[in-house]
Amino acid sequence: MTFVGVITALIIFPGPVALLCTTHGLRFGRHRAFATVLGGGVASLVLMTLSALGLGAVLATSETAFFVLKLLGGAYLIYLGLQAWLAKPQSPLADAPAAVKGQSVPAMFRQGFLVGIGNPKDLLFFAALFPNFITIGEPQLIQFVILALTWLVIDTTLMTLYATLGSGLGRWFDSPGRMRAFHRTTGGLFLGAGGTLIVSSANR
């Protein structure tokens, strides 16, 4: 449940893929924009696979290094929390491109994938977060699969929501006060989750 809460807070925060899904939803409709959602989801799977391979090598080499990664994961969540808390209350549609090229479904999928795969923070996030939810001594593959599929389901659901309700979300986020409250809420979730993970890792 902690994992679900953390990744929900991360995914729902308007990032590059969310901006793209919202824009495509506004301009091309929710059905066509689902290709953009899938592109971003596939990109996340690629990054999670790379992270899992690297973490498996670390765990096989040193449990101490694995423990350090868990502490770094908590620290990174706190960093994300501070970043969200201090973010300027600006409409997520303000930075959307004036014109989005490539209206075909394959082109929209490709654009979603490229935006997702081009975000190095996701690779760092997966590598920092996953160790906190891996039980040492238990089979690793099934644990990584469960974490990855959980991420994919929540990511696809929330990005589809952005695409479907793009125009409504844009109007709602046009209020600086509401956007500030949104930033403070997600930032608080990250700060709480990061502090909890650090304390629990230290206690272990």
pLDDT value, residue 153: 92
pLDDT value, residue 126: 76
pLDDT per position as a tens digit, 34-52: 898 999 899 888 888 877 7
How long is the chain?
204
pLDDT per position as a tens digit, 64-73: 766 776 677 6
pLDDT value, residue 56: 56
Distance (Å, rounded) from C-alpha 185 to C-alpha 187?
5
- The answer to whether 107 and 32 have CB atoms below 8 angstroms apart is no
Q: pLDDT at residue 28 above 50?
A: yes
CA torsion sign for 95, 154, 77, 130 is: negative
- Of residues 109 and 74, the one with the higher pLDDT is 109
Average pLDDT over residues 151-170: 80
The tokens for 194 are 């990061």
Label residue 102 left, alpha or beta by phi (over 0 means left) and psi (-120 to 50 means alpha). Answer: left
